Amino acid sequence: MADHRILLLGPPGAGKGTQATRLTAEYDLDHITTGDALRQNKEMETEYGTPGEYMDAGELVPDPVVNEIVVAALEDADGFVLDGYPRNLDQAEFLSEETDLDHVVFLDVPEDVLVERLTGRRVCDDCGATYHVEFDRPEEAGVCDECGGELVQREDDTEDTVRERLRVYRENTEPVVEHYREEGTLVEVSGEGAPDDVFERLRDVIEG
């Protein structure tokens, strides 16, 4: 059976990263995520400035920078979960020239839930594992269960920046969701409920 090529779409906080981590483990896929790649290179000098300047304001990093990340990652991957890309119609068109997709899934979560999830998110400074102060607590507050590292808040997870990211999402990324919907490839899945329940829904889509 061919490897799965999965695109996970959804607003900030929908659980793309949470579910991508599960999918990659379950189906032995690569996790291609522009957000993590950019965070690891926040200070990198490009002709547009550094990625961090855009990210900390909640704005999109210029297309050439993210397209390059995706091309390199796709070259190394057979099956993959793509998370955080494409985020505008130009990126979607670029992607369509680079690869076919087997599943395009939209994680649907209402906006008030998104703000709660994002402002309460904590991530491990060492291994990147994700927690939530209320919904997914570590055994010891502030300490990573996986590696003992320190849990920190992402710089763009403050309430004001979260609101701006949601605005940027509505303006740039909702048209991408609409594009796949019109194309007839979009499968919509509720992203509400416990992560395990959401994962079961995704499994049904992928194996269905």
Distance in Å, CB of 156 to ligand AP5, minimum: 6
The closest of 137, 172, 162 to 60, measured between CA atoms, is 172
Q: Annotated binding residue at 61?
A: yes
39 Cβ contact list (under 8 Å, min separation 6): 55, 154
CA atoms within 13 A on the CB side of 43: 0
> Contact between 10 and Mg ion (CB under 5 A)?
no
Q: By the criterion CB under 6 A, which residues form the site for ligand AP5?
A: 10, 12-18, 34-35, 38, 54-55, 58-61, 66, 84-85, 87, 91, 117-118, 121, 130-132, 135-136, 156, 165, 193-195, 198
The answer to whether the CB of 63 falls within 8 A of the CB of 55 is no
Q: Which long-range contacts (CB under 8 A, 24 or more apart) does 194-199 make?
A: 195/15, 195/18, 195/19, 195/22, 195/136, 198/15, 198/18, 198/19, 198/107, 199/19, 199/22, 199/23
Nearer to ligand AP5, 4 or 109 (CB): 109
Distance in Å, CB of 71 to Zn ion, minimum: 29
Residues labelled as active-site residues: 16, 87, 121, 154, 165
CA-based end-to-end distance of the chain = 14
- What gap in Å lies between CA 185 and CA 199, rounded to an integer? 20
Q: Annotated binding residue at 12?
A: no
> Contact between 149 and Zn ion (CB under 5 A)?
yes
Determine the length of the chain.
Answer: 208
Distance in Å, CB of 139 to ligand AP5, minimum: 15
> Contact between 15 and Mg ion (CB under 5 A)?
no
> Contact between 62 and Zn ion (CB under 5 A)?
no
Using CB under 5 A, which of 11, 13, 15, 17 touches Mg ion?
17
Q: Annotated binding residue at 77?
A: no
Contact of residue 14 among Mg ion, ligand AP5, Zn ion, none (CB under 5-8 Å per partner type): ligand AP5
Nearer to Zn ion, 62 or 120 (CB): 120
φ, ψ (nearest 5 deg) of residue 81 = -115, 120
Residue numbers belonging to the annotated binding site for Zn(2+): 124, 127, 144, 147
